Amino acid sequence: MFDILQSVVGNYGPLIVEHKGELYKEYCYMISEKNIENLIERIKHIRYSKISQTSDRSFVLVEKSTI
C-alpha cells in the first residue's frame, strides 16, 4: 500500500499526508526513502483503506468504512 508514497522519492519536499483535517509533514528539501519511512511511522496508528495522491508531494488517507 505504501508503494504510492515511494513514487515521490526524488521530488522536492515537503512530503505531506492529510487525514481528517490533520496534516502530517516531513520537512525536507528532496524527498528520500528515509522521509517516507519517518512518515509511515507517524501514520501507522491510523486506520485507513487507501492512500490517494493529491499533488506531486501530498496525499490523503481514505478511511475504512465502519459499515
Alpha-helical segments (H) within 2-63: 3-6, 33-43
3-state helix, strand, coil in the chain (%, to 5): 20, 30, 45
Q: What pLDDT shows up at residue 67?
A: 54
60 or 6: which carries more pLDDT confidence? 60
For residue 5, is pLDDT > 90? Answer: no
Average pLDDT over residues 23-37: 96
Q: What is the pTM of this model?
A: 0.85
